[in-house]
Amino acid sequence: MNDLIIKQGKHINGDVIDIVINGGRVTAVGPEAAAGLPSIKEIDLHGHYYVSAGWIDAHTHCYPQSPLYYDDPDLIGAASGVTTVVDAGSTGADDIDDFYAMTRKAKTHVYALLNISRTGICCQNELADMAQINNEHLQDAIRRHKGFIIGLKARMSQSVVGENGLQPLIKAKIMQKANGLPLMVHIGNPPPHLEEMADLLTKGDIITHCFNGKPNRILDEAGNLKPAIQRALARGVMLDVGHGTESLSFSIAEQAIKFGAHPHMISSDIYQRNRVGGPVHSLATVMTKFLNLGLSPEYILNCVTINAANLLHLPHKGRLERGCDGDITIFDLKNQRIELVDAEGQIRIGTQQFVPIATVIAGVHIVVAENVTKKNMSVENTPAKNATTNRSPLNGIPL
């Protein structure tokens, strides 16, 4: 008896496929792959909705006890079409144990990028005191939470580092060598200057807030891609959107994409304030903004599935393949007018949007929108085990 069968979902390439999940993993996928197979639960999409590997939001802030940037992992995750969220530096070595314990209660898969400051983001300038960067404590935290801590985070803007300039990043690169984890670097207002930071980064490092409109943007005054960024990309440095409250400019993103500087990951930098009040709202909203900027649905999906899984070393996620985690996002691509706002207040009118319909996590937890009609999607439990279906609204997402 399989845990879950999803029938007649649309792949983004147009194929209609079945997905079979058992023991938390995908066991079969393809046209009529579920024919004749029994299951405890069955979702029939009747060829109406799309299916993909579960979406991964690679830059969030979801430590509920954080004094500045916080949210509930399941509100920004399972309730919004996202099966995996990565907290980007809210916690450091001092509070990672508490964060880890909290995440065990979430339906959504939660991982952490450990702040190089032992205090995490307890204040806006956590890297202004170099004494807070303690390699011994950081490495010990990584050993304690191997598999949960999947990278490091350094916020390299003037308001964070104070008078320390490049020194926190130099120290981060030294600490990184001891564990080999990816390093995500936040860029904001200088100093330090982006060119200096980019020259320190190596293959697999991630520049987040890559399309911000601040002085530390990736384009020069003439609108060309800065040489330091060109060199970094050639070395294998990656670009992450990290929309956030202040860090996505439609104009910068549009121009950068024209130069071939496509994002490798599309993430939200979401927390309670910019989820409720905007301009972020959800990962789906951020994905929709990039539809309006000309990226294809296939490319955007790769940025929140296979690309994110590869860059963050999550080998069983991001793929709709046998043996991968049974995390599935069911969604629609609706052709309808939508007003989109970037972090600078610029408004664009979109004509198509990503709309999450349901989230399946490990083939067990199913969050389904209440107003999805049975004509288009049905969720049934077989009589064998009388399991119940979790039916809860996708908070704030228009259907």
Q: How far apart are CA 334 and CA 352, in angstroms?
A: 5
Q: How far apart are CA 81 and CA 308, in angstroms?
A: 16
Q: How far apart are CA 4 and CA 88, in angstroms?
A: 32
262 marked as binding residue: no
Q: How far apart are CA 19 and CA 54, in angstroms?
A: 13
For 38, 78, 179, 249, the CA distances from 269, given in Å and listed in that order, are 40, 16, 25, 14
How many other CB atoms are found less than 10 A from the CB of residue 28? Answer: 17
C-alpha dihedral, 296 to 300 to 302 to 304, nearest 10°: -170
209 marked as binding residue: yes
107 marked as binding residue: no
- Beta strand 39-44 with 378-381 is antiparallel
* Alpha-carbon torsion (127, 201, 294, 377), positive or negative: negative
Residues comprising the chain, all counted:
399
The closest of 103, 129, 104 to 116, measured between CA atoms, is 129
243 marked as binding residue: no
Cβ contact 161:128 at 8 Å: yes
Cβ contact 206:182 at 8 Å: yes
User: For residue 59, how far is the Cα from the chain centroid?
Assistant: 5
Q: CB neighbours of 50 closer than 8 A, spacing ≥ 6?
A: 9, 10, 11, 12, 330, 331, 332, 333
46 marked as binding residue: no
Cβ contact 89:113 at 8 Å: yes
Annotated binding site for Zn(2+): 59, 61, 153, 186, 209, 269
Residue stretches of the annotated binding site = 59, 61, 153, 186, 209, 269
